[in-house]
Structure 1
Amino acid sequence: MAVRRRQRLGPGGGRALLGAVLLCVWWRAAAERVRYTIAEELGRGSLVGPLARDLGLSADELPARKLQMASAGKKQLKYFTVNEENGNLYVNERLDREEMCGESATCSVSFEVLVHNPLSVFYVEVAIQDVNDNAPRFLQNKFQLEINELTSPGARFYLGMAEDPDVGSNSLQGYELEANGHFTVEVKASEDGSKSRPELVLAKALDREEAAFHELVLRASDGGDPARTGTARIRVTVVDANDNAPVFSQAEYTVHVPEDVAVGSTILTATAEDADEGQNGQLKYSFHKISYRDSKLFYLDSDTGEITVRGELDFEKISSHELEVQAHDGGELFDTAKVIITVTDVNDNVPKISVRSAINEISEDTALDTVVALLHVQDRDSGANGEVHCTIEGNIPFRLEKSLDDYYRVVTARELDREQVSEYNVTVRAADGGSPALQSRAVLCLRVLDVNDNAPVFAEERYSARVAENNAAGALVLTVRATDADWGQNARVRYRLGEGRVRGAPLSSYVSVQAETGALYALRSLDYEQVRELRLWVCAEDGGAPALSSNVSVVVQIVDENDNAPQVLYPAPAAALGSGSGGAWSGVELAPRWSEPGALVAKVVAVDADAGQNAWLSYELAKATEPGLFRVGLHSGEVRTARSPLARDAARQSLVVVVKDHGRPALSATATLSVVLAESVAELLAELSSATDEAAEPGEPAGSLTRWLVLAVAAVSCLFLAFLLLLLALRLRRWHRQQLLPPASGALRGVPVSHFVGIDGVRAFLQSYSHDVSLTADSLTSLRQCEVVCAAFLSKETDRRCGFRVA
């Protein structure tokens, strides 16, 4: 039956109470200790004690606290077990105190108990009480003695001791000899007082002629209830007299032997001398006192007295051996010497690392000093050989802390970053203080769990792309790419478009981004003349909670294509003058017949809504009434005389000028100029009148020409007043550059000023002309053309004007 020992407070005063309180505090600070006492030979399943209750754990706490036995070795764990349901401690295997503790006076089994949530260590000690289950046993069940018949009564003869593995009152208590007329037995205490040995005492003189042999029975008994006994037979042979006994050179032999001494090595030689001669002087050596265990370890040569090692010594099991050697002569005389063999420790035990508790996964945002594992380190050697130093190998964010006795905790020492190291092999090295040192290692595999601590990172700081205008809707513009250093859902990146507007419309109506791939698509056909570039932001967002995001700037440049033909501003289209011609261009210019070669006659002004070389314009004369009379500037569009007009040249010259851009393929437009060669204004008016007559329908009354003349004069007067107002407005710089276009060319509003510049850098609209014009009733068409040209050429950057002199 198990007995649990508790500390009880006696009826002492306050001093005793204070001491008990201090003892309890210290007891809790060091560790909880529970002690039980049970008898040996208990069967499996026998109750040792209510361990959970004694540790202060209730039945409700047991499932969560996970009561677990732990020990330095598996040997201790095999004897006991803990019931997980009720927390009681039971015997797991039959207990044999003698097998467990040998001859030790006390016997106990100690082990640790781990309680989780939170982690605590408790020490449990179970004391094993001895029962009288072993009878005394003689190492030899027969003894042979030879006693000289001249031996005087009172002589003593050493007998072999009996052994009883039990302890206390159950151990060997005494010897008795069966009744006989010559011998008695006496028990003599050993010098150290630890054990008693029997001696055969001669009580009556022997007579060999009366009895040559004596058969005796020696009985050893213990103090158990009931007592157990063991017997040995003694055969005494009566021999002739021998008056010199052997004498050992030393009464006590002492030797120190390392535990790793080789089997068969001689550790000492016990020598004795006998003054007798012959058979009485021939000595034989034997062990007089030796335990059964030591008899397996040492061998004594009976002839030489050499003691050799016959088994492996182990300092950790037995550190000292005490023997007695006896030297016998040829007769009955002998001498005894004590032999003490001290086994010295060598560093033959490697430190042992036991992982008592460990985790294999840890979050990367775990706080510092978090316990990762609990280790127990033990070395069975002693002294410096048993002093163990533990370290963690490598530069890793963990360190060791010694918690209790031989326990170490592995805790976090630095912040963890899964993106740098996702898994650690924590190698703990234990080295003892021996020379050379022995060491062992334990490896803890620890996987770092990811948290969302990294925002997506784009592959480039900014993205740019070029897209040709007139693209197909849904065309791929570019692909942005962002990566997230996290793992799993935290690394899943989705893309979205930032808010914005382009020309008043939402940005999302122009482009879209694919959420999974980051591909940017154009949702509509883009027009360079409307939008030169798109500036937008793309946001990359991961799948963490909360989500992290980052933005990147994207610039999409629209590349111009040659999709706009040149547009001629001057001469004005015939439709603008009310002529009714569809798509052709016409104008009337005056060229005096006395003009020198190179004289400026007119200027063809054209623009192109495209950009770059698609807007670079060139002019060439495609058709002329007199091919060699006029030439056109390749880049300026100026029509000049190539030579002086001749009398044979027709008065009316028709010129067709082709305007081309430099696109591929090139686009073009044509302008038709009518040039009148005249010596005077009258001739000009006559020519104009004839042109008007030709244009008039047949049968029109002549009186209508007068009306047209009156209307022409009124128009010229209004035009003159309009010119004055325009000049005043220009001087006040209140006109905007957009007013450069004539009223009939509303389709060209908004075209940048740079498009009106030729390659040679001369602004097309800054050209002014000054002509002396004589008006007649037939000159209305020419006057209207002149009005349109002057209005188009005026801008806020010049003070030039068209001058008219009416005759």
Structure 2
Amino acid sequence: METQEKLSSTATVTIEITDANDNSPVFDQEAYSISVDETALPGDPIATITASDADTGSYGTKGIVYQLIGLGTEKFNVNKKSGVITVAPCELPGAQHCLDYETKSVYYLNYKATDDNGNGHSTVVQLKITLNDNNDNPPIFEADNYKALIDEGSSKFEPPLQVHATDGNFTSTTMVEITVLDVNNNHPVFGQEEYVVSVPEDTKIGTSIEKVVAEDADSGINAELVYRIEKGAFDDFTIDNKSGIVMVSSKLDYDLRNSYSINIIAVDGGMSAFKSSSPSNLKIFRAILLEKNYGINVLSGTPALTGTTTLNVRVLNTNDKIPFFAPSTQRAEVKEDAAVGDVVHTLVAKDLDVDDIQALNFAASEPITAVDKNGKEVMDDLSFKVHIKISDVNDNAPQFSQKEHVVNIVESIPLSPPAPILQLRAHDADTTSHLTYSIIAGNEGDVFSLDPSTGIMYPRVSLQNRKPKYSLKVQVSDGVHTDTAAVYVIVQAINQNQPVFVKPSSHNATVYVEELVLVARDHGSQTWHEGIQFLTIVIKDIDDNLPRYTSTDPYVFHVKENLPASTRIGVNVNARTGEFVAQLVATDKDADVNGSLSYTIITSHLYRGGANFSSGSVVPQPFAISESGKLTTATLVAEYNQERFKLEIVAKEKAPPYREATAYVNDRHVPARDRPSDAIDFDDSRYFESVRLSVRLPQRSLRRVCHRECCGKWNLL
């Protein structure tokens, strides 16, 4: 219904907000560490650990449920609502303690809190539970029975023996065996310091000669003795190690060794003390161990000890050796002229059983034997010989086997080495004679030699051109007696020399020009010899020819002005000294030095302005010539323009009698414009040609080529 007046009414509305589980439980710490004694009983509280939750109701702190998670949670319980952690009941019923520090001392667990009565959000933290060790176990020995050793006479253990232990509440027992050791502190002692025994040398091997005994005041192994020979037995005696009986071990010989001083030692058994333990030495103690640390030490025994005695053995000599001759072979010598009763030899025999050789008796029998002092004869199996040599006496003279010798030898018998001529032989009835040979006569000039021992004769010098016969007297001697013989040596000449040229004296004489072979032969009857020599005949040259120039006419040379110095036609007026002008040639038919020539300018005449007479000899010489005939300028020639020279040149032999030939040379200076148009130009300034010695005249010998400028033709002259 609608009215104009607005009416209202008031009511109260309550809105309730329902809590949602949107928060998780929160612990005060991220991890917890608690401890508990290992002797805690089941149900004993250990700790209380709780968490908080911002939500309300069962979603909040009131609805949190606690839980232990991990290995070892069976040892502990937790109240789900209060968070109180307690010791869990033991796994084994009736056990006094449920926790054991010695088994496991620390537990690492997870502690969980879940809201909404265990159905909501959860939070987990780490929980470390450490067990505290408590004295809840008795001591335990490492062994059920312990043993210790102590030397006799000791007042304490070294180090001290501690075998009891305690932890304050609990005790334990064990068995300790203590062995009292015998200390090896006594040396073995022999019953006698020295033993003396006599033994015949023929005692058999293995025979007992003495027993030595020693005692030791120690007990057990320390008193067990071993006997040993230290020195002096020389392997002839041995001892039993246990009984001390001394026995013969090898054949005794009085003559080699008649006494022994044997050192014998007794060694006890001092070794490790364990071996000397016996039940009577053991005392068993029960000890209560009051301390945790204890130790037991075992001591060792002392080294072995020795005792010493001396056994003197005297070997008794027995007559067990047979006499023998020494040496077994004896030699004697007697001269052949010895008289009856002369002493020939004194026999020597020995017996090792006696000291004096006088105790032996000798008797002569067949064969000779020796007997000892008891009349015992030397055994037949002993070889004994006496060699008696009868010495020869030099009572015989030597004799040549031949009293006369004739020997024929040739005069060319060799000397190096010397050839034997003959051997003399002689004999002597005496066996000890030493024969010596010698030449005593006829050996004039010592032509022959005779070996004194062998009797062989040799030539000493050449027998050529010597005597044809020698008569020699030779002798043989034994030092006392002599004998002589004759030796005739006939020397035969033989044809053994070649003819020798006396003239010419040289081996190859040079006389003239031919070569000849000269032969000379002798007229030997048995054989002939010949000699050969070469003869060369040479024809010697004598100086019998005069020097001659190749031309008998005067030589004419033109010197042109304004021409180069090398122009072959002449010499430039401006030429310097030493310029070539011409070559002069002269010959000598003689050979070698007889045909050698030298050239000399005698005079140089000057003709001025075409004059026919000389104005005199020019000094110094304007020209020079060598020994070979080469003409050259000696001064400048420009000043002699339009002038002529006439030279006198001599070709002279170089050896005596110095024959010579003269040539004249005309030299004219010609200007170039005044030179004749038909002048002949030679191709060369000098020419050479060889001519046979046997050429027949007339004979054309020279071929020269010249050139005429006017006509341009070559002409043969």
Question: What TM-score comes out, normalization by structure 2 length?
Answer: 0.25
Question: What TM-score comes out, normalization by structure 1 length?
Answer: 0.22
Highest CA radius of gyration, 1 or 2?
2
- Higher helix residue share: 1
